[in-house]
Amino acid sequence: MTAAPGMRDLAHRLLTYEAGAAKTSEPMESPSLRVYEKLRQSLGEFVGVVGFQSLASRALTLARPEAPSLSAARVTSDGSLQALGEIETQIDMDKDRAGEGGIILIARLLGLLRSFLGEALTLSLLRNAWPSEAFDDRNSVHGRKA
């Protein structure tokens, strides 16, 4: 089973936004890690550290069959993600696959959120994490006009 196309599209939009934001500010970590950390901060306030860690661990488990490069990644007890940056650096040599594991992981995480919290609350949490043009509220997480 693969991530829903709407979730992949949304994950791709968020990663594209973060990649563009890195060009205008000092470079930090990969776009995938920046999106993940924003979700961790926003959702951690809502579901707590343990709740986010559980969701992220499940998302990683679901993403691994689609992106074997994520096999080295792991979610720590505080919910942070280890090894994704190193994986993306290695994959960056193959531009067609660069960031694909991150997109799949974020898409899986967003899909779980939508399943457990519903679309309206998921959209609200995303708007809290990305209050600017990164998230176009005219599009639902299903990939169609609302």
pLDDT at 8 over 80: yes
CA count, 13 A, side-chain hemisphere, 12: 11
pLDDT tens digits for range 62-72: 999 999 989 99
List the Cα angle 58/52/47 in 5-degree steps: 130
Rounded-to-integer distance, Cα 103 and Cα 87, Å: 13
Fill in the DSSP letter of residue 72: G
Q: Is 76 left (phi over 0), alpha (psi -120 to 50) or beta?
A: beta
Confidence (pTM): 0.80
pLDDT tens digits for range 20-76: 876 655 556 788 899 999 999 988 888 899 999 999 999 999 999 999 989 999 999
Fill in the DSSP letter of residue 70: G
Confidence of residue 115 (pLDDT cuts 50, 70, 90): very high
> Percent of the chain beyond pLDDT 70?
72
Domain spans in the chain, listed from the N-terminal domain onward: 5-129
Fill in the DSSP letter of residue 82: E
